[in-house]
Structure 1
């Protein structure tokens, strides 16, 4: 029997804390019974939820702390106040100590990133972490990164994102050589800012065996699934992510309003209910909740803070998959093989001059 996947949960993170974390993890447990949980937070609140979920209670251990990082705390403040005592820190520390395989939190993104970077450290050759997510497309799914970990980045940083993103795509999609594109304002080589054009030159010159660089991808190419991995820096990536989520909700609201407008439209909905349910399921942001922090010496998953139990379950599922299919080893293998090529690559300024 395979070893169980041990998941550390920040039970106080997010807008709703244990009332979403525990039932959400319970949903994931039904899909992955070879999971055990370490829950960090207020034991009274956690145990109240566990009493209502017996299977989850049997698969869990509770570690008490009454220190929680609030959603509006600045990362530096959270690091000073919550270091070594908060539920967020303790979940990350369990990964560092080898007591858990992955940490999942719906808490403050900046604080989680600061604590994870301080506690787990970066992988060799990686300067800054990135948040990667699985993005639904008309072809299936793509990995998109960075969707909000850090603002800006030079050509070397973008190339390192391509290397890590390709490793994640191999884990998620079972691909030997994923296609990788750089998000840009056009597909022509002369378009875009210097950093993006420099990253394209680096990736072409390295000709990495673990990824197939296809060039630039425009914004509409994300939804089309133009590449298995789409790379951008955190500012534009986060805007793209939030825009897509907002558009999905907007379309869902349009459909809901249109279907209830007249008796004919209501009747039409009854006949096409299966198709509309399938569309709603495909557009549900909860089904793709869970960003992976790449570049750390450990696996950390960030859930949306305002999600419900089903959405949190999706984030736990992502953590399970990243451990079960050995994401960290694959990233290390890729960096050992391709990271050297990145270090030896020509200077990005020379590449576009």
Structure 2
């Protein structure tokens, strides 16, 4: 048997924690094996939840601390006061080779700062990037950067292409990674100078990790023609929030329409199977788990407002990228 994977978990971060965290571990552990969970947080609260769960005692360890980072803390405040916090201790366990990855649903800015203070950047990577999964018509996209860097140069965007492709290959090993730059048009001459220069670099320097497919417009992201979409953090974050808002609007309006009349309710019953598929396609919990790329250890950010299903999916992402040797793939292919 191979060595077990050790996942560090900040049990106190996010809404309804540590309850959803422990329930998420329970869901994840029931669908996998050879995983150990290093749990950081208030033992007085966590232990009773673990005892009520079906999680085997041999697969987890609790490191007690009553300190945790609040959602209202600034990154600087969190860094100053956080050396004994659940988030800091969880990240530090990667630095000390006690864990292979960390998952936290806590304060995003604090997690990034604490991770950068404790972990090294991968050599020749200048900036980290926040990436996430985004559904398309035929499968899944990796999209980055989603907010870690407001401004990026050509080197950064090339690095993001490599890191995003390595992540995609780690998660979907049988698929070819196809990279596109998010732009205002698909023509080669469109876009600002940084985008156009990056296009030239990626077009000229072939890489075995991915196939460069040029530009992609925002309305084509979900077509499935490409699966790694690269942009700066400002544009990526706006695109992500717009997509999330649109998905929520469509789902709520469809639900309202289906419940507005007897005919609508009857139609919903008759189409329950198809409606469930539709709902799952747009359910953000099933794609939960943003990854901070560029550091020498995997750092996974679960959405703070997600439930136990979403948290379990972030653990699944963590497991897959460790098994898929994400960091090794980035180091091997970085220019």
TM-score normalized with structure 1 length: 0.92
Deviations 1:88-143 (A, max 9, x none): 11111111111111100011111111111111120001111111112110011111
Give the structure 2 partner of residue 90 of structure 1: 89
Give the structure 2 partner of residue 227 of structure 1: 226
Give the structure 1 partner of residue 112 of structure 2: 113
Deviates more, 1:312-321 or 1:25-34: 25-34
Distance 1:57-1:128 versus aligned 2 partners, 3 A rule:
same
Residue 175 of structure 1 deviates from its aligned partner by: 4.5
Q: Is the 8 A contact 1:217 1:226 kept in 2?
A: no
Equivalent pairs counted in the alignment come to 335
In 2: Cα distance, 1:287 partner to 1:177 partner: 22
In 1: Cα distance, 2:325 partner to 2:45 partner: 33
Alignment of 1:271-286 (within 5 A): 271-286=270-285
Give the structure 2 partner of residue 191 of structure 1: 190
Q: Does 1:78 align with 2:78?
A: yes
Please state whether the residue corresponding to 2:37 is helix, strand or coil.
strand
Deviates more, 1:101-110 or 1:260-269: 260-269
Q: Is the 8 A contact 1:15 1:71 kept in 2?
A: no
In 2: Cα distance, 1:54 partner to 1:205 partner: 54
In 1: Cα distance, 2:64 partner to 2:328 partner: 32
Residue 57 of structure 1 deviates from its aligned partner by: 4.0
Give the structure 1 partner of residue 127 of structure 2: 128
Please state whether the residue corresponding to 2:30 is helix, strand or coil.
helix
Give the structure 2 partner of residue 241 of structure 1: 240
Q: Is the 8 A contact 2:26 2:54 kept in 1?
A: no
**Which structure 1 segments of 5+ residues have no match?**
340-353
Q: Is the 8 A contact 2:170 2:323 kept in 1?
A: no
Residue 176 of structure 1 deviates from its aligned partner by: 6.7
**Which structure 2 segments of 5+ residues have no match?**
none
In 1: Cα distance, 2:174 partner to 2:213 partner: 16
In 1: Cα distance, 2:150 partner to 2:88 partner: 24
TM-score normalized with structure 2 length: 0.97
Residue 2 of structure 1 deviates from its aligned partner by: 2.4
In 2: Cα distance, 1:76 partner to 1:175 partner: 42
Please state whether the residue corresponding to 2:55 is helix, strand or coil.
helix
Q: Does 1:161 align with 2:160?
A: yes
Give the structure 2 partner of residue 60 of structure 1: 60
